[in-house]
Amino acid sequence: MGHAKFAIISPNKNVEIISEDYLTISNIRVMKLSSQSEIAIFTAGSATSSIALIAMNLKNKKTMILKKTTDVDIDSSYVSAAQPIEFPTTQNKTAYGYFYPPKNRNFVGLPHELPPLLLHVHGGPTANCEPHFSLNVQYWTSRGWAYMDVNYSGSSRYGREYR
């Protein structure tokens, strides 16, 4: 799964990619501190770290985490990263979701057996699930369960036709 590209688009249509560290970036605000200094404030998340409020100096591209939603650090050998999937639905349409396989370095499932699956359906009608780190998901996947986040028809971020 690719990371989100955070870019600045100047009035002359030049695009400058300034960050590819995150899976999701939202709530972007740019503030001018002085004639020589601008910062961007945004929320972002990745597969291995919780959503955080981040400040980025737009001149030197350095970031600073202002606040994380959680300060828990988990060894990556226990963290299951989201795998994007598509599956057919009624009327020849496609639905989307994120599959998290079980992951725990100390245990392996039985050969030729599928793990139990926990299916999560978000509230709606215009919400959506995103592939960033979640302690709720990691709780189950580290204990041998597969976890599936479904973005059913009506979920946001897939365009009006999907809704």
Mean pLDDT of 132-144: 91
Q: Indicate the residue among 68, 90, 109 that finishes a domain.
A: 68
pTM for the predicted model, two decimal places: 0.71
Its domain, for residue 48, covers 4-68
Is the domain of 95 the same as that of 146? yes
162: in domain: no
Q: What was the pLDDT predicted at 30? A: 84
Reported as a single tens digit per residue, the pLDDT across 7-57 is 655 555 555 555 666 777 778 888 888 877 888 888 888 777 778 898 888
Long-range contacts at 81-88 (CB < 8 A, ≥ 24 apart): 81/1, 81/47, 81/48, 81/131, 82/1, 82/23, 82/47, 82/131, 82/132, 82/149, 83/1, 84/1, 84/131
